[in-house]
A and B are shown apart, each in its own frame.
Chain A
Amino acid sequence: FPGAGGGNDIQWCFSQVKGAVDDDVAEADIISTVEFNHSGELLATGDKGGRVVIFQQEQENKTQSHSRGEYNVYSTFQSHEPEFDYLKSLEIEEKINKIRWLPQKNAAQFLLSTNDKTIKLWKISERDKRPEGYNLKEEDGRYRDPTTVTTLRVPVFRPMDLMVEASPRRIFANAHTYHINSISINSDYETYLSADDLRINLWHLEITDRSFNIVDIKPANMEELTEVITAAEFHPNSCNTFVYSSSKGTIRLCDMRASALCDRHSKLFEEPEDPSNRSFFSEIISSISDVKFSHSGRYMMTRDYLSVKIWDLNMENRPVETYQVHEYLRSKLCSLYENDCIFDKFECCWNGSDRQVLIVMTGSYNNFFRMFDRNTKRDITLEASRENNKPRTVLKPRKVCASGKRKKDEISVDSLDFNKKILHTAWHPKENIIAVATTNNLYIFQDKMN
């Protein structure tokens, strides 16, 4: 990426930043998920306070041909509220763990949002006209004196200022004993799965009082528990196929046609480990925090603490590509364990459907995020920071100095701010626009158009 690029090299520029400027971050404002809809026109965020904010891209302005439309607030609503389970003495957080959009079928937009226990289907619809000319009511709603009504008229629709309304259409509750980490909509657009630490359930979007358990890894004796489910996703094209990842670094591919309960996997993806390299940290850092199928469905990508791996579905015994996100942290694992950062769950994403581009992206610390070009094998580190916010100025690559003499413009590992984590990133499905969430701010970057 850096320097003279071929025609395909993307040059990222700052476009927008959303959120408060002050350093004092309220817990509720911590962004917990970011997701573009299928057209890329809408961008949703969820936060720890249970709120969803949806941004809409402006229609392209003919006079501003050098930049794509900006994202502005379209709708915001409280999706989940805190609850207390008195029976189990359990506090249920309102934090939105995941948002997934449904493909658009009519004028309204639908999304699924979930906290630890409950999934909700939200309908977001526009209202831009309203009926006027009622016979019994005034325009402001007051009832007219019936003796003044001497003629009848038919109310007509007149334009009004656009109102965007969000309403919960389905609530899928009481199916998860443990904490939901993933939801994934099936390619049949009728069903979806939800996964918690030990179980995966299959739902029909129309039915809220029943759900099928399709994976159950809870051992009979909890003392024997060694592994939990960390993420799950449906295959983009095969409606009978899904994968789930584990805290031990394995991915299981399951076929729902094989049996009702998919406890036996069809494929098990695992990279063999050199036993002499094993340490106390090995299993923890091998835990997969995210799994994403490629658009074609031929590959899948996993993120563990230090790396991103690309797997070919036809090859179970090792990944086809491995990219080191921040290998310099390997010699800091002791402190990262003590401050709990070793348990941070980073997500990863593929670029949009542009066939010329083959890039994967993931976040790191110090508000850095990383991109790996699978074609050129080059990688780049960029920073989400308000200091770089001159639109149309290309972002400067960052470099971390692992040890030894630090060059000018490099930052040493010990100076990294581990409280500034980029866990959530998203790539527009069609264009080179990316959304990057820092703790409480949302950054939008675009590639520099010529």
Chain B
Amino acid sequence: MSAENPESASAEEQKEMEDKVISPEKVEEAKLKARYPHLGQKPGGSDFLRKRLQKGQKYFDSGDYNMAKAKMKNKQLPTAAPDKTEVTGDHIPTPQDLPQRKPSLVASKLAG
């Protein structure tokens, strides 16, 4: 683009304006990219799908747990802070950290 060519500069500006007028989606896309510049180049696609397919994964690894227990024979295993819901990373989760899933013992309120 030549800065000295006023005609082509204004044509580009006009296209930009047209884009904004015609496509609210493109405006939204620009907003998103401004907030998250590292967002995947590929629109939609595999990242979402893989996240979706992994729904429900809880990272309790019995191998890690037993090795950590072996290493720390006499010491206490560090336990998660009470408010921690995501149990990953350096902290070795224990079965107690994973939230107990129990069926609803209460009847549905729709039946009330």
Residues of A contacting B50 in the complex (Cβ-Cβ under 8 angstroms): 222, 225
Residues in B24-66 with C-beta less than 8 Å from chain A: 24-29, 31-33, 35, 39, 43-46, 48-50, 52-53, 55-61
In the complex, what residue of chain B is closest to A285 when comparing beta carbons? B25
Q: Give the contact stretch, choosing among B1-9, B69-77, B78-86, B103-111.
A: B103-111
Please report the C-alpha to C-alpha distance between residue A53 and residue B104 in the assembled complex, in whole angstroms. Answer: 14
In the complex, what residue of chain B is closest to A91 when comparing beta carbons? B56
Q: Give the contact stretch, choosing among A59-67, A103-111, A311-319, A325-333.
A: A325-333
Instruction: Judge whether B49 and A228 touch: CB under 8 Å.
Output: yes
Residues of A contacting B59 in the complex (Cβ-Cβ under 8 angstroms): 89
Residues of A contacting B109 in the complex (Cβ-Cβ under 8 angstroms): 19-20, 29, 440
Q: Is A18's CB within 8 Å of the partner chain B?
A: yes
Residues of A contacting B98 in the complex (Cβ-Cβ under 8 angstroms): 84
Instruction: Judge whether B104 and A76 touch: CB under 8 Å.
Output: no
What total of chain A residues lie within 8 Å of the partner, measured CB to CB? 57
Q: Is B23's CB within 8 Å of the partner chain A?
A: yes
Instruction: Judge whether A76 and B107 touch: CB under 8 Å.
Output: yes
Residues in A92-151 with C-beta less than 8 Å from chain B: 92-94, 116
Instruction: Judge whether B25 and A47 touch: CB under 8 Å.
Output: no
Q: Is A442's CB within 8 Å of the partner chain B?
A: yes
Instruction: Judge whether A19 and B110 touch: CB under 8 Å.
Output: yes
In the complex with contacts A19-B109, A91-B58, A94-B103, A281-B25 CB distance below 8 A: yes
Residues of B contacting A248 in the complex (Cβ-Cβ under 8 angstroms): 44
Please report the C-alpha to C-alpha distance between residue A253 and residue B50 in the assembled complex, in whole angstroms. Answer: 25
Residues of A contacting B101 in the complex (Cβ-Cβ under 8 angstroms): 82-84, 91, 94
Contact of B28 among A90, A197, A331 (CB under 8 A): A331
Q: Is A223's CB within 8 Å of the partner chain B?
A: yes
Please report the C-alpha to C-alpha distance between residue A92 and residue B55 in the assembled complex, in whole angstroms. Answer: 9
In the complex, what residue of chain A is closest to B40 when comparing beta carbons? A280
Residues of B contacting A440 in the complex (Cβ-Cβ under 8 angstroms): 109
Please report the C-alpha to C-alpha distance between residue A116 and residue B56 in the assembled complex, in whole angstroms. Answer: 10
Q: Is B89's CB within 8 Å of the partner chain A?
A: no
Residues of B contacting A282 in the complex (Cβ-Cβ under 8 angstroms): 25, 43-44
Please report the C-alpha to C-alpha distance between residue A81 and residue B28 in the assembled complex, in whole angstroms. Answer: 41
Instruction: Judge whether A51 and B104 touch: CB under 8 Å.
Output: yes
Q: Is A260's CB within 8 Å of the partner chain B?
A: no
In the complex with contacts A50-B103, A178-B53, A279-B108 CB distance below 8 A: no
Residues of A contacting B27 in the complex (Cβ-Cβ under 8 angstroms): 331
Q: Is A418's CB within 8 Å of the partner chain B?
A: no
Please report the C-alpha to C-alpha distance between residue A441 and residue B110 in the assembled complex, in whole angstroms. Answer: 7
In the complex with contacts A45-B110, A89-B59, A331-B103 CB distance below 8 A: no
Instruction: Judge whether B58 and A90 touch: CB under 8 Å.
Output: yes
Instruction: Judge whether A18 and B110 touch: CB under 8 Å.
Output: yes
How far apart are B104's CB and chain A's nearest CB, in angstroms? 4
Q: Is A283's CB within 8 Å of the partner chain B?
A: yes
Contact of B58 among A19, A78, A89, A284 (CB under 8 A): A89
A283-B45, A330-B28, A338-B32 known; 18 new pairs, CB 8 Å cut-off, are A51-B108, A73-B110, A82-B103, A84-B58, A84-B101, A89-B57, A92-B56, A94-B103, A179-B55, A228-B49, A247-B44, A247-B49, A278-B43, A279-B28, A281-B43, A282-B43, A284-B44, A332-B28
Name 9 A/B residue pairs within 8 A (Cβ), A-sorted: A73-B111, A89-B58, A91-B56, A198-B53, A282-B25, A282-B44, A284-B44, A334-B29, A441-B110
